[in-house]
């Protein structure tokens, strides 16, 4: 199949979305689930409303998972067998990228369909996607979500496989366009990898304002079994060292008045057990183990209650490409205290919707937590400002901008193919 065989430029009508290492329907907070899963699910659903047929391909991890399921009108999730039908650590998945690509092609051929564009998420998918576009002759867009070199620079003790570092340095130049969530990420792509600005499309992430919006704190706390008078500090995300939750636990120990303090940590699965154990040991060491509650992985549909129940959301991350949790928290009317890193620096308005902390140590986080817990009017004012700020973020706008990018690349690819055929 080649672009030369296509009759005329037209809007892309069928998109292959690759999410090799994680399903967009998986519960959040696991070792391989987070903002990327939300992004793929929400954007695919909205892209399908624009007369595109969206097929999201993921690697099968369970024999019980249906081979094909429609998760929204016009959007399908397709399980591809590549390697064992079981969970495999991300670091080992690269050896199955070729099998994954072959499985996608087998599905395409069996369905007798063609794809107009491949949109890969994360480096593993982009490796597989590169194989597919070489055969299909269609544009390739990649969104990396995180980059190995950036993670290594953010935290010296991080470990990334050399295969990832090498692949990303190649892929950022081989794909037709890289989608970045922030201007900061675009600058990193230029400074670290030498990617020209013209090859990067900056499209911020979104939020569903109907789901993530202010609501009854009392009802949310009753649903979650939290006391009405508790001072709830919330953290949401994967349970891994890069999230800096040890800093948060040590900060909680430095809060002067802790009699009503409740540190609620959402995320993590059995694969995160070593980090759970490390964090629990730290909580015991600093004397706050009775204040810390690990809620485990939570479905995205259940997260609004957690935000509404919170007095403040804290993100002491060492690195964040965007920080979807901050967006959801602010849309829910909750102030955010976050590290001044990555996308958080442009998402959280310092002093207006929360606070940005430039130092990765407990003391400044404790200071801001205590300030907000003691001052209800300040919390309410920052929370209200966050709701207003998040009106500019929506999944509909993300999908609209992606449609524009898809159409641009499709027209350019068809024109290029016709030029070659006519020459």
Separation of alpha carbons 310 and 412, rounded Å: 48
Check if the beta carbon of residue 141 is closer than 8 Å to that of residue 176.
Answer: yes
Whole-number pLDDT of residue 420: 59
Whole-number pLDDT of residue 393: 86
Closest C-alpha among 122, 116, 66 to residue 97: 122
Total Cβ atoms within 10 A of residue 250: 20
Closest C-alpha among 219, 274, 288, 202 to residue 241: 274
Kindly provide the b/e burial profile for residues 266-303, where b requires at least 16 CB atoms within 10 angstroms of the residue's own CB. Answer: bbbbeebeebbeebeebbeebebeebbebbbbbebeeb
pTM: 0.85
Is 3.40.50.2000 the CATH classification of the domain at 3-206+394-422?
A: yes
Overall fold of domain 217-392: Rossmann fold (3.40.50)
Closest C-alpha among 261, 290, 271, 293 to residue 370: 261
First to last CA, the chain: 20
Separation of alpha carbons 417 and 58, rounded Å: 30
Separation of alpha carbons 143 and 159, rounded Å: 21
**Backbone CA torsion sign across 229, 247, 239, 153:** positive
The token duo for 361 is 């140590």
Separation of alpha carbons 193 and 188, rounded Å: 7
- Spell out the per-residue pLDDT of the chain, length 423, in tens: 443 333 333 444 899 999 999 888 876 655 556 788 889 999 999 999 988 999 999 999 999 989 999 999 999 999 999 999 998 988 899 999 999 999 999 999 999 999 999 999 999 999 999 999 999 999 999 999 989 998 888 776 678 899 999 999 999 999 999 999 989 899 999 999 999 999 999 998 899 999 999 999 999 999 999 999 999 999 999 898 989 999 999 999 999 999 999 999 999 888 889 999 999 999 999 999 999 999 998 888 899 999 999 999 999 999 887 889 999 999 999 999 999 998 898 889 999 999 999 988 999 999 999 999 999 999 999 999 999 999 888 999 999 999 999 999 988 877 666 655 665
| CATH topology identical between 3-206+394-422 and 217-392 | yes
Domain boundaries, the chain: 3-206+394-422, 217-392
The partner residues of 185 in beta bridges, in order of sequence, read: none
Closest C-alpha among 273, 293, 285, 269 to residue 362: 285
C-alpha 237: how far from its chain's center? 10
Q: Which residue matches tokens 């009802």?
A: 219
CB neighbours of 118 closer than 8 A, spacing ≥ 6?
Answer: 15, 16, 18, 129, 132, 133, 136, 138, 139, 140, 141
Whole-number pLDDT of residue 6: 39
């Amino acid at each position: 199949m080649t672009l030369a065989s296509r009759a005329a430029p037209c809007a892309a009508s069928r998109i292959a979305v690759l999410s090799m290492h994680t399903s967009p329907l998986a519960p959040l907070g696991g070792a391989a689930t987070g903002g990327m899963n939300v992004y793929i699910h929400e954007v695919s659903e909205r892209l399908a409303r624009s007369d595109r047929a969206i097929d999201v391909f993921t690697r099968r991890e369970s024999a019980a998972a249906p081979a094909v399921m429609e998760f929204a009108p016009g959007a399908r999730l397709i399980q591809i067998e590549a390697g064992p039908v079981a969970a495999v650590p991300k670091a080992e998945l690269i050896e199955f990228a070729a099998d994954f690509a072959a499985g996608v092609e087998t599905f395409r051929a069996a369905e007798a369909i063609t794809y107009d564009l491949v949109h890969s998420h994360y480096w593993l998918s982009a490796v597989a996607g590169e194989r597919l576009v070489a055969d299909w002759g269609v544009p390739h867009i990649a969104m990396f979500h995180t980059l190995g070199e950036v993670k290594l620079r953010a935290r010296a003790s991080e470990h990334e496989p050399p295969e990832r570092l090498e692949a990303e340095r190649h892929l950022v130049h081989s794909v037709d366009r890289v989608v970045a969530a922030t201007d900061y990420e675009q600058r990193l792509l230029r400074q670290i990898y030498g990617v020209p600005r013209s090859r990067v499309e900056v499209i911020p992430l979104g939020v569903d304002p109907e789901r993530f919006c202010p609501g009854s704190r009392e009802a949310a706390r009753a649903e979650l079994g939290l006391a009405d008078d508790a001072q709830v500090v919330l953290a949401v995300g994967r349970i891994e060292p890069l999230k800096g939750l040890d800093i948060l636990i040590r900060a909680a120990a430095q809060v002067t008045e802790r009699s009503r303090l409740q540190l609620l940590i959402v995320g993590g699965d059995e694969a995160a057990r070593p980090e759970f154990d490390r964090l629990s040991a730290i909580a015991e060491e600093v004397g706050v183990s009775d204040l810390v509650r690990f809620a485990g992985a939570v479905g995205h549909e259940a997260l609004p209650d957690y935000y509404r129940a919170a007095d403040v959301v804290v993100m002491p991350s060492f690195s964040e490409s965007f920080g979807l949790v901050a967006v959801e928290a602010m849309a829910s009317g909750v102030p955010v205290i976050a590290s001044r890193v990555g996308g958080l620096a442009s998402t959280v308005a310092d002093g207006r919707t929360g606070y940005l902390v430039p130092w990765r140590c407990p003391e400044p986080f404790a200071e801001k937590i205590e300030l907000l817990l003691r001052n209800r009017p300040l919390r309410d004012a920052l929370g209200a400002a966050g709701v207003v700020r998040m009106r500019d973020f929506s999944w509909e706008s993300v999908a609209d901008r992606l449609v524009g990018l898809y159409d641009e690349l499709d027209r350019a690819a068809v024109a290029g193919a016709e030029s070659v055929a006519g020459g």
